[in-house]
Amino acid sequence: MSSPKLHGQVAVVTGASSGIGRATALALARAGVQVVLAARTQATLDGVVQECAQSGTRAIAVPTDVTDEQLIAALMERAVQECGQLDILVTSAGGAAFGPIMESRTEDWDMLMNVNLRGTYLCCKSALKHMLPRKSGHILNVLSIASHMILPGSTAYTASKFGALGLTKVLAAEVRSEGIKVTAVIPGAVDTPLWDKSGGDLDRTKMLSPGDVADAMLSVIAQPAGIHTDELHLMPPLGVL
């Protein structure tokens, strides 16, 4: 549904081809926000562009690997050049790998640090270059309950998400006085393709839906200027899972 507060704003959403990022891009488009969609795979991004177009809102796909600083800078530049400004950044690009530490692979550790932590840092920094001069903007970093809670069998994932929470908190404190909001989004388990890739024998019917997570984020983005939501905790009715 179009939102008078959000209509005409411009958002960059990373991880927009799947799961929480895709659902957020679609919800933003329905609210009348121009959406710049980023992930690595052009074909899946193009599909989400088509879905956004059904809301009558402009969306563009910019294939981007969030571990590449130059590509991220080009992504933010393109948003500003083609849409005129950058109001919202949602960082939802991410990965997961689970299992006891002695069975874990160092390649997975490196990948999770690169995508979940370094990628979030790079995207925030690059977006702020465009938000700070206007003294306006809202960054929402999609973290996890693993940013707060100890879940055995998730060493690298938890380390990346604890780190990203630290990054988000410091960032919020640094730019709050500059008119920019930074929100840590802390969901429990969400029923997305992440679980197909990372394994795990969990009951997905008990998880949050990505659409509900997206709607909750939109309600925070649409809050009055005088309210700052530092952390948005979203749990399924039965708890973490």
Ligand X SMILES: NC(=O)c1ccc[n+]([C@@H]2O[C@H](COP(=O)([O-])OP(=O)(O)OC[C@H]3O[C@@H](n4cnc5c(N)ncnc54)[C@H](OP(=O)(O)O)[C@@H]3O)[C@@H](O)[C@H]2O)c1
Catalytic status, residue 121: no
Least separation in angstroms between CB 119 and ligand X? 6
Distance CA 165, CA 183 (A): 10
For residue 29, give the nearest of 40, 13, 15, 46 by alpha carbon: 13
φ and ψ of 63, to 5 deg: -55, 125
Tell me which of 98, 121, 157, 195 is the catalytic residue. Answer: 157
Structure tokens at 189: 């388990």
- Our CB check for ligand X shows the closer of 21 and 32 to be 21
- Our CB check for ligand X shows the closer of 40 and 228 to be 40
Beta strands in 18-83 (DSSP E): 34-38, 59-61
Least separation in angstroms between CB 68 and ligand X? 8
Least separation in angstroms between CB 56 and ligand X? 24
Neighbour count for residue 42 (Cβ, 10 Å): 12
- Our CB check for ligand X shows the closer of 110 and 230 to be 110
- Our CB check for ligand X shows the closer of 33 and 93 to be 93
**DSSP for 189-220, written as a single string:** -B-STHHHHH-----GGGSBPHHHHHHHHHHH
- Specify the residue for token string 């997905």: 204
Distance CA 188, CA 204 (A): 12
Phi-psi category of residue 207: left, alpha or beta, with phi > 0 → left and psi -120 to 50 → alpha: beta
Least separation in angstroms between CB 114 and ligand X? 7
- Our CB check for ligand X shows the closer of 86 and 186 to be 186
Least separation in angstroms between CB 190 and ligand X? 4
Contacts of 234 (CB under 8 A, 6+ apart): 185, 186, 187, 188, 208, 212, 213, 216
DSSP 232: E
- Judged by the rule CB under 6 A, the positions of this chain that interact with ligand X are 14-15, 17-21, 39-41, 44, 64-67, 92-96, 115-116, 142, 144, 187, 189-190, 192-194
Which residues are identified as catalytic?
Answer: 157
